[in-house]
Amino acid sequence: MDDILERLAKSDFRRKFKLKDKDKLYIEQKGLETIKRHAQDFISKRIAPAEISNDGKQTPMKGHPVFIAQHATATCCRKCINKWHKFDCGRELTFEEQDYLVNLIMRWIEKQIEM
């Protein structure tokens, strides 16, 4: 997991995404457990289904720290997930795969908070 985060950090596009102070404050107020539940919710509803009508546009660029983390970790849409994490498009993601994506998002968020 740290290996993929390292590779993502070398991508000029991915590494532009960083948590702002207001994102960190939001995380502090909500707590990491709640943020993780939000991540699980976004992944299961916006990312996991086999068919996504607006794939590539379903993850806003701001508005929730998890959205920013999704762009930074290439878990923003099925095309990026296919390219970076090798999960095929056009089928529902398994619970294990969803769990992997959520854990990656949370790992990235934890690293951002430490900075």
Residues that bind Zn ion (CB under 5 A): 76-77, 80
Q: How many Å apart are CA 5 and CA 15, to the nearest integer?
A: 10
Nearest CB to Zn ion, comparing residues 38 and 82: 82
Q: Which residues neighbour 77 within 8 Å (Cβ) at sequence distance 6 or greater?
A: 47, 52, 55, 56, 57, 58, 59
CA nearest to 85, candidates 101, 70, 72: 101
Find where tokens 């878990």 sit.
75
Shortest Å, Cβ 94 to Zn ion: 20
| Alpha carbon of residue 84 to chain centroid | 12
Nearer to Zn ion, 35 or 80 (CB): 80
Smallest distance from Zn ion to CB 51, Å: 16
> Residue 49 and residue 90: Cα distance in Å, rounded?
8
CB of residue 86 to Zn ion, shortest distance in Å: 14
CB of 17 or CB of 19, closer to Zn ion: 17
Shortest distance, position 92 Cβ to Zn ion, whole Å = 18
Report the residue number, 16 or 21, with the smaller CB distance to Zn ion: 16
